[in-house]
A = this chain, B = another copy of it.
Amino acid sequence: MSKNLTTREEDYSKWYNELVVKADLAENSGVRGCMVIKPYGYAIWEKMQAELDRMFKETGHQNAYFPLFVPKSMFEAEEKNAEGFAKECAIVTHYRLKNDPDKPGKLMVDPNAKLEEELIVRPTSEAIIWSTYKGWVQSYRDLPLLINQWANVVRWEMRTRLFLRTAEFLWQEGHTAHATRKEAIEESEKMMNVYADFVQNFMAIPVIKGLKTETERFAGAEETYCIEALMQDGKALQAGTSHFLGQNFAKAFDVKFANAEGKQEYVWGTSWGVSTRLMGALVMTHSDDKGLVLPPNLAPIQVVIVPIYKSDEQLQAISAAVAIVSAALRKLNISVKYDDRTTQKPGFKFAEWELKGVPVRIAVGPKDLENGTFEVARRDNLSKEVIAADGIENYIATLLSQIQTDLFNNALSYRESHVTEVNNFEEFKSVLEGKGGFVSAHWDGTAATEEKIKELTKATIRCIPLDRVEEAGSCVFTGNSSVGRVLFAKAY
């Protein structure tokens, strides 16, 4: 199966598109720009959801659900936010179909069922949520509101790619309200850290924490915190964002509270989200030319066991041994699949599970039974070892955690070797056109320079790293003065 996969070197973009489909993660649907997330892909997303949901609840957040639709007048209340999303809104204008008198068996939009006010399919939910918060907040005692929502959103993108950019996608969006500016900023930073923790420790993807420039900031935010990851082709991918909204939405929706002194003040807000886009980051960080490579934490199947046999008696003996090891593994909460299909040969099965990224494969034949051993293969580095059957479950448990660590470290060393400091624009361009990755350069702080560099190189400022050193320098493009380096990259 994997033979048919385009290699990354041949065409990275084609490799990605093929892999997502062939590994049964997702496929394009009959609806422009919308994807179908297939069961195997959805099982990975469910693991992400469960872990994030746990982390949100541990940090004091509760889930709720707000409407899919936003009336136009509500949508446009916060002007910058509205302006930022206006060009990519799906708009409901009618609420009924009727039989088409000219085409028997066909339906048409009923012109008599036009809505008085158009409804926007939410591209993000600040407007509907802040219009609700108005009713929930009277006094400082009602604050903070710490709410999260798991939902679908729609942004009408013209050029779409599975997971990375789709007209509809799934995400979670946190929306919090606070009594003070300080508390809201702390919340934004806390959630950026939760995302970084999740992406690094659960998905094994290293990230750089930073702030967006004004150009790249969320429409309606005062500050956008982000975590930026680096894909194997040297392009960056924004893996999550957390926005400090100031009092913008509170003012747009008149959300005030009486402080301890009884004085009316506007509420301070944050919002933060990650989406099914993370599935794309997962694929592009770890996978190889044979297919998907899944970190054990995210693998729906962590261990696959393939029997090698020539006779039914052999299969029976193998199956008996497999039953024992499977039970032992499951006791350690390791998910196991025994692939005893009689319709496929072992080589076919090996290739299929490699394509699907199962972290550990155990093969077992009559010789192994005799010797009391199993052959254990790692998906990530394709190494194999022969391991004694007795106590193998502990070996596998340790191996899975080793694979998780190794995947992170490999991605980290790739990332570290792809952050390049440059001091002039020739270097800047040659790094971008060469090995790619993040280019660390001085910038004069103006949107005009940022825009000009983007035009010339397609690179954008991914972030102003939170840990950057303040140093005087001169802008890599204009030579004007700069207070520190920022990270540029081409990005998804």
Contact = CB atoms under 8 A, between A and B. Distances in A.
Copies of this chain, whole number: 2
Contact of A31 (B35, B62, B69, B156): B69
Interface of A: 27, 29-31, 34-39, 42-43, 45-46, 62-72, 74-76, 79, 82, 86-99, 105-107, 109, 118-121, 128, 131-132, 135, 141, 147, 151-152, 154, 156, 168, 170, 343
A156 B35 contact: no
B93 A89 contact: no
B107 A86 contact: yes
Nearest to A97: B86
21 contacts: A29-B67, A30-B131, A30-B132, A37-B65, A39-B63, A42-B64, A43-B63, A46-B63, A68-B152, A68-B154, A69-B168, A72-B97, A75-B107, A76-B107, A86-B98, A88-B96, A90-B94, A91-B93, A93-B94, A141-B343, A152-B152
A147 B93 CA distance: 32
Contacts of A121: 68, 92, 121
Given A29-B132, A36-B67, A75-B107, 15 more contacts: A31-B67, A31-B69, A31-B128, A39-B62, A39-B63, A68-B121, A68-B168, A75-B97, A82-B107, A86-B99, A90-B92, A90-B119, A97-B120, A121-B121, A151-B152
Contact of A36 (B34, B64, B76): B64
A88 B107 CA distance: 13
A76 B46 CA distance: 32
B71 A31 contact: yes
Contacts of A87: 96-98
